[in-house]
């Protein structure tokens, strides 16, 4: 499943062909008066049916719009490969403090003995009995040893 972000903007109808053809732009849909989307799926050309109008083929049929007017469009842009995500999972850890439990997981699960400023070594440690959570950043906590 590819993830994306969606933006809406008001554009001149006559500019829609160049927007749709631009490979740097996303998937373009027309935004209806009630906010619904109609994806542009086919040709965009001067209409032979409605004189002076631009004929736009959408997933719901052909729409005829005045090229000198403005309309709302929606663009669905795929997220770049460099998009940052926070990834979390649950690992049971043991220790006399949240910091010690995090340090043991860092050492025993991840095989790491040093926690530097550039490491992803921030843990949310939750006491199973009380439900209280503590944020532990091992790179900032010099009082806890990640060594055996």
Per-residue pLDDT, 72: 98
Region 126-132: mean pLDDT is 93
Q: What's the pLDDT score for residue 144? A: 56
Contact 122, 136 (CB under 8 A): yes
Alpha carbon distance 71, 9 (integer Å): 8
The predicted model scores a pTM of: 0.58
The rounded distance, in Å, linking the Cα atoms of 46 and 95 is 72
Mean pLDDT of 135-141: 86
Residue 8, both tokens:
């809406």
Instruction: Tell whether the model's pLDDT for residue 50 goes beyond 90.
Output: yes
77-99 pLDDT, tens digit per residue, is: 888 888 888 888 889 999 999 99
134: left (phi over 0), alpha (psi -120 to 50) or beta: beta
């Amino acid at each position: 499943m590819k993830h994306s972000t969606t933006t809406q903007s008001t554009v001149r109808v006559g500019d829609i062909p160049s927007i749709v053809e631009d490979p740097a732009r996303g998937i373009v849909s027309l935004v209806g008066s009630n906010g619904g989307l109609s994806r542009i799926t086919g040709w965009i050309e001067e209409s032979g049916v409605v004189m002076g109008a631009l004929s736009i083929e959408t997933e719901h049929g052909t729409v005829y719009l005045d090229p000198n007017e403005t309309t709302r469009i929606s663009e669905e842009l795929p997220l770049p490969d460099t998009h940052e995500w926070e990834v979390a999972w649950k690992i049971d850890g043991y220790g006399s403090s949240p910091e010690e439990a995090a340090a043991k997981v860092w050492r025993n699960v991840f095989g790491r003995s040093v926690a530097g400023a550039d490491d992803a070594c921030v843990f949310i440690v939750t006491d199973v009995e009380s439900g209280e959570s503590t944020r532990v950043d091992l790179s900032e906590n010099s009082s806890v040893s990640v060594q055996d």
